[in-house]
Amino acid sequence: MHKVKEKGILSASNGINIYRGCLHGCIYCDSRSDCYQMKHKFEDIEVKENAPELLEKALSSKRKPCMIGTGAMSDPYIPLEKDLRIMRKCLEIIEKYSFGVTVHTKSS
Ligand code: SF4
């Protein structure tokens, strides 16, 4: 795992990916594709440690409510989340600003 500070977290289609890479190991995973230009091993998870602050900033200035999507590129509930709890913080922010959310995960 390695941590980074990003400049933005919310995509143009209102998606967030807190982690880059995944540990669930699905053989059909599209996120491993070279077209996404990942500069680290897929299993060496990149953690966007400032995701909650970036999300709060983005949602506080949004005028229209919408659904926030998670898990499009990397599962938000990889084992690291149990200790880091970044997804949980993001969910609390989404609730605080009354946005909807979809959670795509392979985790139980
Ligand atoms: S859970 Fe999703 S991101 Fe993770 S390996 Fe499977 S398909 Fe890829």
Ligand 1 centroid, distance to 78 Cα (angstroms): 9
Ligand 1 centroid, distance to 30 Cα (angstroms): 8
Provide the pLDDT for residue 92.
98
Q: Which residues of the chain have pLDDT under 50?
A: none
Q: Are 87 and 51 in contact (CB under 8 A)?
A: no
Alpha-carbon distances of 86 from 33, 45, 50, 76, rounded to whole Å: 25, 13, 9, 9
pLDDT, tens only, 26-46: 999 999 999 999 999 999 999
- Domain residue ranges in the chain: 2-103
Provide the pLDDT for residue 100.
98
> Comparing C-alpha atoms, which of 42, 53, 107, 100 is closest to residue 81?
107
> Comparing C-alpha atoms, which of 14, 11, 4 is closest to residue 86?
4
Provide the pLDDT for residue 91.
98
Provide the pLDDT for residue 25.
85
Provide the pLDDT for residue 3.
97
Question: Which of 18, 27, 74, 107, when mutated, tests ligand 1's pocket best, judged by the most ligand atoms within 8 Å of its CB?
Answer: 74
